[in-house]
Amino acid sequence: MTLLPEIEVLRKDLEKDVVNKRIKDVTVRSATIVSRHRNRPEFVKALTGHKIQALGRRGTYLVFDLDDDAALVVRLGSQGTLSRETASQSLGRHTQVAATFTNGGALHVVDPAKDGELFVVSRTGLADLTELTPAGIDPLTDTFTWPSFSQELRRRNAPLRGVLKDETFIVGLGDVYADEILWAAGLSGKRLSAELSSQEFRRLYRGVQEVLQEAVKQGGTDEPVDYADDDEYESGGFIKVYGKEGLACPRCRQPIRKDADDDGSDAFFCGNCQT
Ligand SMILES: [Zn+2]
């Protein structure tokens, strides 16, 4: 789960439950997920006994502020999530790390693709981790104006869909939100980003904000992976085109199309009202 709205939804949801809890026991199944540490025991020792004081987000990383100037950084895998469990719940097949709390409950790190990462650092050391400072705009927290947004699009001058998916421009949109934003703005993803009219820049700018705010409000997508295979994508009512090939466009009723984009991903769009 590396899409920004999903991570923000998860953060908000977990925050209520984990803040002020003290970590009792930690189990790590695979050393790979904690590879910034020398070994598993070192990670377990660094985390055990700490109390969680806050849960924040830096781009697509989750940062648990711990007492004694420590922080737990979590980068979820491409299919990963964090799930709350009872303390006695056995580890699921894809659970790579589990932490129990002194006053009950547990948090499991589920990582089916085994490409996530966890590590403990000092809170003061967080500032030195450049990967935690996203190169691109964080559209949920950064204030960005439409003139600066359009200036950057003009500078890049590349097909819109690729620009939206570029993490050095905006963090965490992926195929799903790129397609939804383009649909909301009524723009074709093949258009060159420098060639939009000022009205179109504004439509795209508004599309970014509206689609992401709605996604967070509605709790993100339930299924972070493989929903393109579903005939009809049922979760996430804010999804208008992604994974909906052949269904009627909610705006003009023409069938939604699917085409392979230049990078090999599937692009979903309405060929009639996205121009
Ligand atoms: Zn349409």
Q: Say which range, 81-85, 147-151, 228-232, has the weakest mean pLDDT.
A: 228-232
Model pLDDT for residues 21-42, shown as the tens digit of each residue = 999 999 999 999 999 999 999 9
Model pLDDT for residues 80-128, shown as the tens digit of each residue = 999 999 999 999 999 999 999 999 999 999 999 999 999 999 999 998 9
Give the distance (Å) from ligand 1 centre to CA of residue 152: 27
Residue by residue, DSSP assigns the chain as: ---HHHHHHHHHHHHHHHTT-BEEEEEES-GGGGTTSSSHHHHHHHHTTPBEEEEEEETTEEEEEETTTEEEEEE--TT-EEEEE-TTPPPPTTEEEEEEETTS-EEEEE-TTS--EEEEEETGGGGG-GGGS-SSB-TTT----HHHHHHHHHHH-SBHHHHHH-TTTBSS-HHHHHHHHHHHHT--TTSBGGG--HHHHHHHHHHHHHHHHHHHHTT--S--SSGGGSSS--S-TT-SSTT-TTSBPTTT-PBPEEEE-TTS-EEEE-TTT--
Question: Would you say residue 19 has pLDDT above 70?
Answer: yes
Give the distance (Å) from ligand 1 centre to CA of residue 150: 24
Q: What is the mean pLDDT of residues 147-153?
A: 93
Number of residues assigned to the chain = 275
Question: Would you say residue 159 has pLDDT above 60?
Answer: yes
Question: Would you say residue 227 has pLDDT above 60?
Answer: no
Angle, CA of 102, 104 and 105, to the nearest 5°: 115
Average pLDDT value for the chain:
92
The confidence score (pLDDT) of residue 1 equals 59
Give the distance (Å) from ligand 1 centre to CA of residue 192: 20
Report the distance separating Cα 179 and Cα 161, nearest Å.
Answer: 7
Report the distance separating Cα 50 and Cα 103, nearest Å.
Answer: 13
Give the distance (Å) from ligand 1 centre to CA of residue 149: 25
Q: What is the mean pLDDT of residues 179-198?
A: 97
Give the distance (Å) from ligand 1 centre to CA of residue 206: 18
Model pLDDT for residues 46-76, shown as the tens digit of each residue = 999 999 999 999 999 999 999 999 999 999 9
Could you tell me the pTM of the whole model? 0.86
Q: What is the mean pLDDT of residues 1-22?
A: 91
Question: Would you say residue 143 has pLDDT above 50?
Answer: yes
Give the distance (Å) from ligand 1 centre to CA of residue 218: 23
Question: Would you say residue 229 has pLDDT above 80?
Answer: no
Single-letter code of the amino acid located at 13:
D
Give Cβ neighbours of residue 113 (< 8 Å, ≥ 6 apart): 77, 78, 79, 80
Share of the chain above pLDDT 70, in %: 94
Banded model confidence at residue 232, pLDDT cuts 50, 70, 90:
very low
